[in-house]
Amino acid sequence: MKRTYQPNSRRRSKKMGFLARMKTKMINSRRRKGRKVLAH
């Protein structure tokens, strides 16, 4: 029986990575504020 979670680093970085988060409002609002650190 195959387990459900088959990790795929490329897909993960596309969905959850930093550049994927750049498209959301949260990081962009922090950028406009001029934060030094946007994400851990």
pLDDT tens digits, one per residue of 1-36 = 888 888 888 888 888 788 787 787 878 888 888 888
pLDDT of residue 31: 80
Query: CA-to-CA distance for 39 and 18, rounded, in angstroms?
Result: 8
Q: What does DSSP assign to residue 14?
A: H
> Which residues lie closer than 8 Å to 27 by C-beta, 6 or more apart?
21, 38, 39
pLDDT score recorded for residue 32? 84
User: If you ran DSSP here, which 8-state letter would residue 34 be given?
Assistant: T
> What is residue 38's predicted lDDT score, i.e. its pLDDT?
73
Residue bearing tokens 């994400």: 39
- Between CA 14 and CA 23 the distance in angstroms is 11
Residue 26: predicted pLDDT: 79
